[in-house]
Amino acid sequence: MLTLLILLLMLGGVAAWISGRWSQTWPRWISMGTALLHIIILLVLWVHDLYRTEPGTAWLEETRRVWVPQLGITYHLAIDGLSLLLVLLSNFLGILAIASSWEGIQKRVGFFHFNLMWILAALVGIFEAMDLFLFYFFWELVLVPLYFLIAIWGYENRYYAAIKFFLFTQASGLFLLLAILGLYFAHARATGVYTFNYFDLLGTPIAGGAAFVLMLGFFVAFAVKLPVVPFHTWLPDAHTEAPTAGSVDLAGLVLKIGAYGMIRFIPPLFPQAASEFATFAMILGVIGIIYGAIVAFAQTDLKRLVAYTSISHMGFVLLGIFAWNELALQGAVMVMIAHGLSTGGLFILVGDLQNRLHTRELSRMGGLWAAAPRMGGVGLFLAMATLGLPGLANFVGEIMVLFGVYQANVTLAAIATGGFVVATIYSVWMMQRVYFGPNVHELRLRDSNAREMTIFGAVIAVTVWLGVHPAPVISTAKPALDTLQDYARRPATTVSVRDAAPLERGES
Protein backbone atom coordinates (compact mmCIF):
# COMPACT_ATOMS: atom_id res chain seq x y z
CA MET A 1 0.00 0.00 0.00
CA LEU A 2 2.86 2.37 0.75
CA THR A 3 4.28 1.57 -2.66
CA LEU A 4 0.94 2.36 -4.22
CA LEU A 5 0.90 5.72 -2.51
CA ILE A 6 4.27 6.70 -3.94
CA LEU A 7 3.39 5.28 -7.34
CA LEU A 8 0.14 7.22 -7.27
CA LEU A 9 2.07 10.47 -7.01
CA MET A 10 4.60 9.47 -9.66
CA LEU A 11 1.96 8.36 -12.12
CA GLY A 12 -0.05 11.49 -11.37
CA GLY A 13 3.03 13.48 -12.33
CA VAL A 14 3.49 11.59 -15.58
CA ALA A 15 -0.19 11.96 -16.42
CA ALA A 16 0.02 15.69 -15.71
CA TRP A 17 3.03 16.02 -17.97
CA ILE A 18 1.39 14.15 -20.83
CA SER A 19 -1.88 16.02 -20.49
CA GLY A 20 0.09 19.26 -20.64
CA ARG A 21 0.52 18.73 -24.37
CA TRP A 22 -3.14 19.43 -24.98
CA SER A 23 -4.26 21.66 -22.18
CA GLN A 24 -3.14 24.20 -19.63
CA THR A 25 -5.78 23.26 -17.10
CA TRP A 26 -5.68 19.48 -17.07
CA PRO A 27 -2.24 19.17 -15.46
CA ARG A 28 -3.46 21.35 -12.60
CA TRP A 29 -6.57 19.31 -12.00
CA ILE A 30 -4.80 16.00 -12.41
CA SER A 31 -2.07 16.82 -9.91
CA MET A 32 -4.53 18.41 -7.53
CA GLY A 33 -6.76 15.34 -7.76
CA THR A 34 -3.85 12.98 -7.17
CA ALA A 35 -2.60 14.93 -4.18
CA LEU A 36 -6.10 15.14 -2.69
CA LEU A 37 -6.63 11.42 -3.13
CA HIS A 38 -3.28 10.78 -1.48
CA ILE A 39 -4.00 12.98 1.50
CA ILE A 40 -7.43 11.46 2.00
CA ILE A 41 -5.90 7.99 2.22
CA LEU A 42 -3.33 9.29 4.69
CA LEU A 43 -5.97 11.00 6.80
CA VAL A 44 -7.93 7.77 7.00
CA LEU A 45 -4.76 6.06 8.14
CA TRP A 46 -4.13 8.77 10.71
CA VAL A 47 -7.64 8.76 12.16
CA HIS A 48 -7.52 5.02 12.29
CA ASP A 49 -4.29 5.28 14.25
CA LEU A 50 -5.57 7.96 16.61
CA TYR A 51 -8.50 5.81 17.65
CA ARG A 52 -6.50 2.66 17.87
CA THR A 53 -7.23 1.18 21.26
CA GLU A 54 -4.91 -1.78 21.56
CA PRO A 55 -1.30 -0.85 22.22
CA GLY A 56 0.90 -2.08 19.42
CA THR A 57 4.25 -1.25 17.93
CA ALA A 58 5.07 2.20 16.68
CA TRP A 59 4.82 0.98 13.08
CA LEU A 60 1.55 1.46 11.26
CA GLU A 61 2.28 0.01 7.85
CA GLU A 62 5.15 -1.88 6.33
CA THR A 63 6.19 -3.20 2.93
CA ARG A 64 9.28 -5.27 2.42
CA ARG A 65 10.62 -6.83 -0.75
CA VAL A 66 13.95 -8.09 -1.94
CA TRP A 67 15.47 -5.56 -4.31
CA VAL A 68 19.15 -6.24 -4.93
CA PRO A 69 19.85 -9.39 -2.97
CA GLN A 70 23.52 -9.44 -3.99
CA LEU A 71 24.20 -6.33 -1.92
CA GLY A 72 21.64 -6.88 0.80
CA ILE A 73 19.42 -4.08 -0.43
CA THR A 74 15.75 -4.40 0.36
CA TYR A 75 12.85 -2.37 -0.82
CA HIS A 76 11.59 -1.60 2.66
CA LEU A 77 9.01 1.05 3.36
CA ALA A 78 7.46 1.54 6.75
CA ILE A 79 5.54 4.32 8.38
CA ASP A 80 5.30 5.33 12.02
CA GLY A 81 3.79 8.38 13.65
CA LEU A 82 6.73 10.60 12.84
CA SER A 83 6.75 9.60 9.18
CA LEU A 84 3.00 9.88 8.97
CA LEU A 85 2.97 13.43 10.29
CA LEU A 86 5.66 14.54 7.90
CA VAL A 87 4.03 12.80 4.96
CA LEU A 88 0.78 14.53 5.85
CA LEU A 89 2.58 17.85 6.04
CA SER A 90 4.22 17.20 2.66
CA ASN A 91 0.91 16.48 1.10
CA PHE A 92 -0.82 19.43 2.65
CA LEU A 93 1.89 21.82 1.50
CA GLY A 94 2.01 20.08 -1.86
CA ILE A 95 -1.65 20.86 -2.35
CA LEU A 96 -1.03 24.46 -1.32
CA ALA A 97 1.85 24.65 -3.78
CA ILE A 98 -0.33 23.40 -6.62
CA ALA A 99 -3.08 25.81 -5.66
CA SER A 100 -0.71 28.76 -5.32
CA SER A 101 0.69 28.29 -8.82
CA TRP A 102 -2.76 27.92 -10.37
CA GLU A 103 -2.56 31.27 -12.10
CA GLY A 104 1.10 32.18 -11.78
CA ILE A 105 2.45 29.38 -13.97
CA GLN A 106 1.32 29.67 -17.55
CA LYS A 107 4.19 28.08 -19.44
CA ARG A 108 5.00 24.40 -19.69
CA VAL A 109 2.34 23.66 -17.13
CA GLY A 110 2.59 19.92 -17.68
CA PHE A 111 6.28 19.65 -16.90
CA PHE A 112 5.87 21.99 -13.94
CA HIS A 113 3.31 19.74 -12.32
CA PHE A 114 5.32 16.68 -13.18
CA ASN A 115 8.18 18.15 -11.17
CA LEU A 116 5.89 19.10 -8.29
CA MET A 117 4.45 15.63 -8.07
CA TRP A 118 7.84 13.95 -8.28
CA ILE A 119 9.21 16.14 -5.51
CA LEU A 120 6.29 15.01 -3.39
CA ALA A 121 6.78 11.38 -4.32
CA ALA A 122 10.48 11.48 -3.50
CA LEU A 123 9.80 13.23 -0.19
CA VAL A 124 7.22 10.65 0.77
CA GLY A 125 9.79 8.03 -0.18
CA ILE A 126 12.39 9.63 2.09
CA PHE A 127 10.01 9.71 5.03
CA GLU A 128 9.04 6.08 4.55
CA ALA A 129 12.27 4.39 3.50
CA MET A 130 13.63 1.98 6.09
CA ASP A 131 16.51 0.75 4.01
CA LEU A 132 19.49 3.07 3.92
CA PHE A 133 20.12 2.51 0.24
CA LEU A 134 16.50 3.26 -0.55
CA PHE A 135 16.69 6.32 1.67
CA TYR A 136 19.72 7.58 -0.20
CA PHE A 137 18.02 6.80 -3.48
CA PHE A 138 15.05 9.05 -2.69
CA TRP A 139 17.34 11.57 -1.02
CA GLU A 140 19.15 12.14 -4.29
CA LEU A 141 16.05 11.79 -6.42
CA VAL A 142 14.33 14.75 -4.82
CA LEU A 143 17.04 17.07 -6.10
CA VAL A 144 16.35 16.57 -9.78
CA PRO A 145 12.76 17.85 -10.04
CA LEU A 146 13.54 20.60 -7.56
CA TYR A 147 16.49 21.63 -9.69
CA PHE A 148 14.28 21.85 -12.75
CA LEU A 149 11.66 23.75 -10.81
CA ILE A 150 14.16 26.41 -9.78
CA ALA A 151 16.07 26.51 -13.06
CA ILE A 152 13.08 26.74 -15.38
CA TRP A 153 10.45 28.71 -13.49
CA GLY A 154 12.62 30.69 -11.11
CA TYR A 155 13.41 34.41 -11.06
CA GLU A 156 16.35 36.46 -12.38
CA ASN A 157 19.24 34.62 -10.82
CA ARG A 158 17.77 31.16 -11.14
CA TYR A 159 20.61 29.34 -12.92
CA TYR A 160 23.12 30.32 -10.29
CA ALA A 161 20.76 29.43 -7.48
CA ALA A 162 19.74 26.12 -9.01
CA ILE A 163 23.27 24.93 -9.57
CA LYS A 164 24.43 26.11 -6.16
CA PHE A 165 21.56 24.32 -4.53
CA PHE A 166 22.21 21.12 -6.42
CA LEU A 167 25.95 21.14 -5.79
CA PHE A 168 25.69 21.82 -2.08
CA THR A 169 23.15 19.15 -1.44
CA GLN A 170 24.65 16.60 -3.79
CA ALA A 171 28.15 16.97 -2.45
CA SER A 172 26.89 16.58 1.09
CA GLY A 173 24.79 13.65 -0.05
CA LEU A 174 27.91 11.87 -1.19
CA PHE A 175 29.31 12.07 2.32
CA LEU A 176 26.08 10.49 3.46
CA LEU A 177 26.71 7.73 0.95
CA LEU A 178 30.23 7.17 2.24
CA ALA A 179 28.96 7.09 5.81
CA ILE A 180 26.20 4.63 4.89
CA LEU A 181 28.73 2.38 3.21
CA GLY A 182 31.07 2.65 6.16
CA LEU A 183 28.27 1.55 8.44
CA TYR A 184 27.31 -1.22 6.04
CA PHE A 185 30.79 -2.72 6.00
CA ALA A 186 31.30 -2.20 9.73
CA HIS A 187 28.10 -4.12 10.34
CA ALA A 188 29.19 -6.85 7.96
CA ARG A 189 32.52 -7.20 9.69
CA ALA A 190 30.89 -7.46 13.06
CA THR A 191 28.11 -9.86 12.14
CA GLY A 192 28.91 -11.27 8.70
CA VAL A 193 25.58 -10.01 7.37
CA TYR A 194 25.57 -7.54 4.52
CA THR A 195 22.50 -5.39 4.82
CA PHE A 196 21.30 -1.85 4.38
CA ASN A 197 18.22 -2.46 6.46
CA TYR A 198 17.72 0.17 9.13
CA PHE A 199 16.47 -2.26 11.75
CA ASP A 200 19.38 -4.62 11.24
CA LEU A 201 21.91 -1.83 11.36
CA LEU A 202 20.59 -0.54 14.68
CA GLY A 203 22.97 -1.46 17.44
CA THR A 204 25.91 -2.10 15.14
CA PRO A 205 28.99 -2.18 17.30
CA ILE A 206 31.56 0.27 15.97
CA ALA A 207 34.73 1.48 17.58
CA GLY A 208 34.32 4.95 19.10
CA GLY A 209 36.44 6.94 16.67
CA ALA A 210 35.01 5.28 13.58
CA ALA A 211 31.49 5.75 14.87
CA PHE A 212 32.14 9.43 15.37
CA VAL A 213 33.42 9.86 11.81
CA LEU A 214 30.46 7.97 10.35
CA MET A 215 28.07 9.99 12.50
CA LEU A 216 29.68 13.16 11.17
CA GLY A 217 29.09 11.95 7.61
CA PHE A 218 25.37 11.63 8.36
CA PHE A 219 25.34 14.90 10.23
CA VAL A 220 26.95 16.93 7.46
CA ALA A 221 24.47 15.68 4.87
CA PHE A 222 21.51 16.45 7.09
CA ALA A 223 23.01 19.72 8.28
CA VAL A 224 23.29 21.06 4.74
CA LYS A 225 19.62 20.34 4.13
CA LEU A 226 18.40 21.65 7.48
CA PRO A 227 20.49 24.01 7.16
CA VAL A 228 22.82 24.41 10.11
CA VAL A 229 24.61 27.72 10.02
CA PRO A 230 27.96 27.21 8.40
CA PHE A 231 26.26 25.16 5.65
CA HIS A 232 23.36 27.46 4.95
CA THR A 233 24.55 29.65 2.10
CA TRP A 234 22.63 27.81 -0.63
CA LEU A 235 19.34 28.41 1.12
CA PRO A 236 18.71 32.15 0.69
CA ASP A 237 19.59 31.94 -3.00
CA ALA A 238 17.53 28.87 -3.73
CA HIS A 239 14.51 30.12 -1.77
CA THR A 240 14.62 33.55 -3.29
CA GLU A 241 15.01 32.49 -6.90
CA ALA A 242 12.61 29.58 -6.80
CA PRO A 243 9.03 30.02 -7.99
CA THR A 244 6.49 30.20 -5.18
CA ALA A 245 5.66 26.51 -5.32
CA GLY A 246 9.37 25.73 -5.21
CA SER A 247 9.94 27.94 -2.18
CA VAL A 248 7.01 26.33 -0.40
CA ASP A 249 8.39 22.87 -1.11
CA LEU A 250 11.91 23.90 -0.14
CA ALA A 251 11.08 25.64 3.10
CA GLY A 252 8.19 23.47 4.10
CA LEU A 253 9.56 20.09 3.18
CA VAL A 254 13.10 19.84 1.96
CA LEU A 255 14.44 21.38 5.15
CA LYS A 256 12.38 18.85 7.06
CA ILE A 257 14.13 15.89 5.52
CA GLY A 258 17.32 17.10 7.15
CA ALA A 259 15.63 17.22 10.52
CA TYR A 260 13.87 13.93 9.92
CA GLY A 261 17.14 12.27 8.98
CA MET A 262 18.76 13.47 12.19
CA ILE A 263 15.95 12.19 14.38
CA ARG A 264 15.63 8.89 12.58
CA PHE A 265 19.27 8.03 12.10
CA ILE A 266 21.86 9.87 14.13
CA PRO A 267 21.18 9.00 17.77
CA PRO A 268 19.57 5.60 17.08
CA LEU A 269 22.47 4.42 14.93
CA PHE A 270 25.32 6.09 16.80
CA PRO A 271 24.08 6.60 20.37
CA GLN A 272 27.50 7.04 21.90
CA ALA A 273 28.89 9.36 19.26
CA ALA A 274 25.71 11.38 19.14
CA SER A 275 25.71 12.04 22.84
CA GLU A 276 29.35 13.15 22.69
CA PHE A 277 28.46 15.44 19.82
CA ALA A 278 25.20 16.74 21.29
CA THR A 279 26.51 19.83 23.05
CA PHE A 280 28.37 21.00 19.98
CA ALA A 281 25.33 20.44 17.79
CA MET A 282 23.16 22.34 20.24
CA ILE A 283 25.58 25.24 20.20
CA LEU A 284 25.32 25.24 16.40
CA GLY A 285 21.55 25.28 16.82
CA VAL A 286 21.65 28.32 19.08
CA ILE A 287 24.03 30.09 16.71
CA GLY A 288 21.56 29.34 13.92
CA ILE A 289 18.65 30.77 15.88
CA ILE A 290 20.37 34.05 16.65
CA TYR A 291 22.31 34.40 13.41
CA GLY A 292 19.33 33.62 11.17
CA ALA A 293 17.17 36.10 13.00
CA ILE A 294 19.72 38.90 12.93
CA VAL A 295 20.52 38.41 9.26
CA ALA A 296 16.81 38.24 8.46
CA PHE A 297 16.44 41.63 10.07
CA ALA A 298 19.10 43.05 7.78
CA GLN A 299 17.46 41.96 4.51
CA THR A 300 15.94 44.36 2.03
CA ASP A 301 14.43 41.60 -0.08
CA LEU A 302 11.21 40.29 1.41
CA LYS A 303 11.69 36.75 0.17
CA ARG A 304 15.27 36.60 1.44
CA LEU A 305 14.02 37.81 4.78
CA VAL A 306 11.57 34.93 5.00
CA ALA A 307 14.32 32.56 3.89
CA TYR A 308 16.58 33.63 6.74
CA THR A 309 13.79 33.22 9.27
CA SER A 310 13.77 29.56 8.23
CA ILE A 311 17.37 29.24 9.30
CA SER A 312 16.45 30.66 12.66
CA HIS A 313 13.53 28.28 13.15
CA MET A 314 15.55 25.31 12.08
CA GLY A 315 17.98 26.19 14.83
CA PHE A 316 15.20 25.32 17.29
CA VAL A 317 14.73 21.99 15.56
CA LEU A 318 18.43 21.18 15.78
CA LEU A 319 18.45 22.21 19.42
CA GLY A 320 15.46 20.03 20.18
CA ILE A 321 16.80 16.98 18.40
CA PHE A 322 20.14 16.98 20.14
CA ALA A 323 18.66 17.67 23.56
CA TRP A 324 17.19 14.18 22.89
CA ASN A 325 14.55 14.04 25.57
CA GLU A 326 10.90 13.41 25.04
CA LEU A 327 9.72 16.97 25.45
CA ALA A 328 12.40 18.48 23.24
CA LEU A 329 11.85 15.92 20.50
CA GLN A 330 8.12 16.45 20.44
CA GLY A 331 8.79 20.15 20.36
CA ALA A 332 11.14 19.70 17.42
CA VAL A 333 8.49 17.77 15.51
CA MET A 334 5.96 20.44 16.34
CA VAL A 335 8.29 23.21 15.16
CA MET A 336 8.88 21.33 11.94
CA ILE A 337 5.18 21.17 11.22
CA ALA A 338 4.40 24.69 12.39
CA HIS A 339 7.31 26.16 10.46
CA GLY A 340 6.23 24.33 7.33
CA LEU A 341 2.79 25.89 7.61
CA SER A 342 3.73 29.43 8.55
CA THR A 343 6.72 29.79 6.26
CA GLY A 344 4.92 28.05 3.45
CA GLY A 345 2.10 30.55 3.93
CA LEU A 346 4.53 33.46 4.00
CA PHE A 347 6.19 32.36 0.78
CA ILE A 348 2.81 32.11 -0.91
CA LEU A 349 1.99 35.59 0.34
CA VAL A 350 5.28 36.98 -0.92
CA GLY A 351 4.68 35.27 -4.25
CA ASP A 352 1.25 36.89 -4.51
CA LEU A 353 2.78 40.27 -3.66
CA GLN A 354 5.48 39.81 -6.26
CA ASN A 355 2.95 38.86 -8.93
CA ARG A 356 1.15 42.11 -8.28
CA LEU A 357 4.03 44.51 -7.55
CA HIS A 358 6.77 42.85 -9.64
CA THR A 359 9.26 43.47 -6.87
CA ARG A 360 10.35 41.90 -3.63
CA GLU A 361 12.23 44.96 -2.39
CA LEU A 362 11.00 46.17 0.96
CA SER A 363 11.92 49.75 0.06
CA ARG A 364 9.43 49.66 -2.81
CA MET A 365 6.58 48.63 -0.55
CA GLY A 366 4.79 50.26 2.36
CA GLY A 367 1.26 51.13 3.32
CA LEU A 368 -0.22 48.16 1.57
CA TRP A 369 -2.75 47.53 4.31
CA ALA A 370 -5.13 50.13 3.00
CA ALA A 371 -4.71 48.92 -0.57
CA ALA A 372 -5.19 45.24 0.22
CA PRO A 373 -6.62 44.70 3.67
CA ARG A 374 -7.24 40.97 3.27
CA MET A 375 -3.61 40.34 2.37
CA GLY A 376 -2.58 42.54 5.23
CA GLY A 377 -4.60 40.54 7.69
CA VAL A 378 -3.10 37.29 6.44
CA GLY A 379 0.37 38.83 6.61
CA LEU A 380 -0.20 39.93 10.17
CA PHE A 381 -1.38 36.49 11.18
CA LEU A 382 1.59 34.75 9.58
CA ALA A 383 4.04 37.22 11.10
CA MET A 384 2.54 36.58 14.52
CA ALA A 385 2.78 32.84 13.97
CA THR A 386 6.43 33.24 12.98
CA LEU A 387 7.32 35.24 16.04
CA GLY A 388 5.70 32.59 18.21
CA LEU A 389 2.52 34.15 19.50
CA PRO A 390 0.94 31.91 22.14
CA GLY A 391 -2.07 30.11 20.82
CA LEU A 392 -0.48 29.38 17.47
CA ALA A 393 1.38 26.24 16.48
CA ASN A 394 4.89 27.71 16.41
CA PHE A 395 4.65 28.78 20.01
CA VAL A 396 3.72 25.31 21.17
CA GLY A 397 6.69 23.79 19.39
CA GLU A 398 9.29 26.31 20.40
CA ILE A 399 8.25 26.40 24.04
CA MET A 400 8.38 22.62 24.21
CA VAL A 401 11.85 22.65 22.71
CA LEU A 402 12.98 25.24 25.24
CA PHE A 403 11.55 23.26 28.17
CA GLY A 404 13.25 20.17 26.88
CA VAL A 405 16.56 21.90 26.35
CA TYR A 406 16.33 23.44 29.79
CA GLN A 407 16.55 19.95 31.23
CA ALA A 408 19.64 19.26 29.17
CA ASN A 409 21.52 22.52 29.19
CA VAL A 410 20.32 25.61 31.02
CA THR A 411 22.74 28.07 29.44
CA LEU A 412 21.83 27.19 25.89
CA ALA A 413 18.13 27.30 26.71
CA ALA A 414 18.57 30.77 28.12
CA ILE A 415 20.41 32.04 25.06
CA ALA A 416 17.92 30.41 22.71
CA THR A 417 15.11 32.29 24.41
CA GLY A 418 16.70 35.39 22.96
CA GLY A 419 15.58 34.06 19.61
CA PHE A 420 12.01 34.97 20.52
CA VAL A 421 12.99 38.58 20.99
CA VAL A 422 14.82 38.88 17.70
CA ALA A 423 12.00 37.04 15.94
CA THR A 424 9.56 39.60 17.28
CA ILE A 425 11.75 42.40 15.99
CA TYR A 426 12.07 41.13 12.44
CA SER A 427 8.44 40.07 12.17
CA VAL A 428 7.06 43.34 13.39
CA TRP A 429 9.59 45.25 11.34
CA MET A 430 8.55 43.32 8.24
CA MET A 431 4.89 44.16 8.89
CA GLN A 432 5.81 47.77 9.39
CA ARG A 433 7.76 48.02 6.14
CA VAL A 434 5.23 46.22 3.98
CA TYR A 435 1.81 47.04 5.28
CA PHE A 436 1.91 50.05 7.55
CA GLY A 437 3.14 53.55 7.18
CA PRO A 438 2.29 55.85 4.29
CA ASN A 439 1.80 54.37 0.85
CA VAL A 440 4.63 56.49 -0.58
CA HIS A 441 4.81 54.70 -3.91
CA GLU A 442 1.05 55.04 -4.33
CA LEU A 443 0.77 51.35 -4.96
CA ARG A 444 -2.55 49.92 -6.00
CA LEU A 445 -3.09 46.25 -6.03
CA ARG A 446 -5.82 43.73 -6.33
CA ASP A 447 -6.62 42.16 -3.00
CA SER A 448 -6.56 38.39 -2.52
CA ASN A 449 -9.16 36.55 -4.51
CA ALA A 450 -11.19 33.57 -3.38
CA ARG A 451 -8.55 31.02 -4.41
CA GLU A 452 -5.81 32.78 -2.49
CA MET A 453 -8.00 33.27 0.55
CA THR A 454 -8.87 29.58 0.54
CA ILE A 455 -5.17 28.72 0.64
CA PHE A 456 -4.49 31.14 3.48
CA GLY A 457 -7.66 30.05 5.23
CA ALA A 458 -6.41 26.47 5.26
CA VAL A 459 -3.01 27.51 6.62
CA ILE A 460 -4.56 29.71 9.30
CA ALA A 461 -7.07 27.06 10.34
CA VAL A 462 -4.42 24.39 10.80
CA THR A 463 -2.03 26.75 12.59
CA VAL A 464 -4.70 27.79 15.06
CA TRP A 465 -5.90 24.24 15.52
CA LEU A 466 -2.41 22.97 16.32
CA GLY A 467 -1.78 25.99 18.54
CA VAL A 468 -4.85 25.38 20.64
CA HIS A 469 -5.13 21.62 20.50
CA PRO A 470 -1.79 20.05 19.64
CA ALA A 471 -2.65 16.73 21.32
CA PRO A 472 -3.32 14.71 18.13
CA VAL A 473 0.09 15.54 16.73
CA ILE A 474 1.83 14.85 19.98
CA SER A 475 0.07 11.58 20.59
CA THR A 476 0.79 10.44 17.05
CA ALA A 477 4.47 11.28 17.29
CA LYS A 478 4.92 9.92 20.80
CA PRO A 479 5.13 6.16 20.15
CA ALA A 480 7.51 6.74 17.26
CA LEU A 481 9.77 9.02 19.27
CA ASP A 482 9.68 6.66 22.25
CA THR A 483 10.76 3.81 20.03
CA LEU A 484 13.60 5.86 18.62
CA GLN A 485 14.76 6.76 22.11
CA ASP A 486 14.65 3.08 22.95
CA TYR A 487 16.86 2.29 20.00
CA ALA A 488 19.35 4.89 21.12
CA ARG A 489 19.47 3.41 24.60
CA ARG A 490 19.98 -0.14 23.46
CA PRO A 491 23.58 -1.19 24.10
CA ALA A 492 25.60 -2.33 21.14
CA THR A 493 26.63 -5.94 21.25
CA THR A 494 30.36 -5.65 21.28
CA VAL A 495 32.01 -7.83 18.69
CA SER A 496 35.43 -7.15 17.31
CA VAL A 497 35.14 -4.94 14.26
CA ARG A 498 37.74 -6.74 12.23
CA ASP A 499 36.47 -10.29 12.56
CA ALA A 500 34.56 -10.93 9.38
CA ALA A 501 36.12 -11.36 5.98
CA PRO A 502 35.60 -8.61 3.42
CA LEU A 503 32.66 -8.91 1.05
CA GLU A 504 33.53 -11.38 -1.64
CA ARG A 505 30.70 -12.62 -3.79
CA GLY A 506 28.34 -10.07 -2.38
CA GLU A 507 25.90 -12.64 -1.12
CA SER A 508 23.89 -11.40 1.78
Is 21 exposed, middle or buried (CB count within 10 Å of its CB: 0-12, 13-18, 19+)?
A: exposed
| Residue 71 binds another protein, judged by CB under 8 A | yes
DSSP-based three-state secondary structure for 236:
helix
Question: For the chain, what percentages of helix, strand and coil (3-state, to nearest 5) are there?
Answer: 75, 5, 20
Answer yes or no whether residue 170 interacts with another protein by CB under 8 A: yes
Q: Is 140 in the site for another protein (CB under 8 A)?
A: yes
174 forms part of the interface with another protein (CB under 8 A): yes
Stretch that binds another protein, among 180-188, 339-347, 444-452, 475-483 (CB under 8 A): 180-188
Query: What's the gap between Cα 416 and its chain centre?
Result: 21
Minimum Å gap between C-beta 246 and another protein is 15
Does 144 bind another protein (CB under 8 A)? Our answer is yes
Alpha-carbon distance of 49 to 56, in angstroms, equals 10
Q: How many residues does the chain have?
A: 508
Alpha helices in 2-108 (DSSP H): 2-19, 26-50, 81-100
Radius of gyration of the chain (CA): 22
Answer whether the bond into residue 243 is a cis peptide, omega within 30°: no
Q: Considering the complex, state which of residue 21 and residue 438 has its C-beta at the smaller distance from another protein.
A: 21
**Residue among 184, 231, 291, 369 that touches another protein (CB under 8 A):** 184
Q: Is 104 in the site for another protein (CB under 8 A)?
A: no
203 binding another protein? (CB under 8 A): no
- Report the residue from 112, 127, 135, 166 that binds another protein according to the rule CB under 8 A: 166
Binding another protein by CB under 8 A: which of 138, 218, 308, 406? 138
212 binds another protein per the rule CB under 8 A? no
Residue of 37, 181, 216, 425 interacting with another protein (CB under 8 A): 181
CB atoms within 10 A of CB 461: 11
Nearest approach, Cβ of residue 189 and another protein (Å):
10
Stretch touching another protein by CB under 8 A, among 137-145, 235-243, 383-391, 443-451: 137-145
453 vs 467: CA distance, rounded Å: 20
Burial class (CB in 10 A: 0-12, 13-18, 19+), 450: exposed
Q: Alpha-carbon distance 220 to 212, whole Å? A: 12
User: Shortest distance, CB of residue 194 to another protein, whole angstroms?
Assistant: 10
Which residues contribute to the site for another protein (CB under 8 A)? Answer: 66-71, 107-108, 133, 136-138, 140-141, 143-144, 147-148, 151-152, 159, 162-163, 166-167, 170-171, 174-175, 177-178, 181-182, 184-185, 502-506
